[in-house]
Amino acid sequence: MTHPAIRVSEIFGPTIQGEGVLIGLPTVFVRTGGCDYRCSWCDSLHAVDNQYRHEWEMMSIDAVWQSVVGLSGGRPVMVSLSGGNPAIQPLGALIERGHREGYRFALETQGSVVRDWFAELDVLVLSPKPPSSEMTTDWAAFEACVQAANEKPQVVLKLVVFDESDYAYAKDAAARFPRLPIYLQPGNHTPPRPGNGDSAVDLDGITKRMEWLVESVTRDRWFEARVLPQLHVMLWGNKRGV
Ligand code: SF4
φ/ψ region of 34 (left if φ > 0, alpha if ψ in -120 to 50, else beta) reads: left
Distance 130 CA to ligand 1 centre (A): 11
Band (198; pLDDT cuts 50, 70, 90): low
Distance 38 CA to ligand 1 centre (A): 6
| pLDDT at site 192 | 80
Please tell me the number of Cα atoms within 13 Å of 216 on its side-chain side: 22
113 burial via Cβ count (<10 Å: 0-12, 13-18, 19+):
middle
- Spatial CB neighbours of 136, under 8 Å, sequence gap ≥ 6: none
Question: Average of pLDDT values for 210-234?
Answer: 95
Band (194; pLDDT cuts 50, 70, 90): confident
Q: Is the CB of 22 under 6 A from ligand 1?
A: no
Superfamily of domain 6-236: Aldolase class I (3.20.20.70)
What are 38-62's pLDDT values in tens digits?
999 999 999 999 999 999 999 999 9
| pLDDT at site 195 | 66
Q: Is the CB of 110 under 6 A from ligand 1?
A: yes
Q: Classify 8 as helix, strand or coil.
A: strand
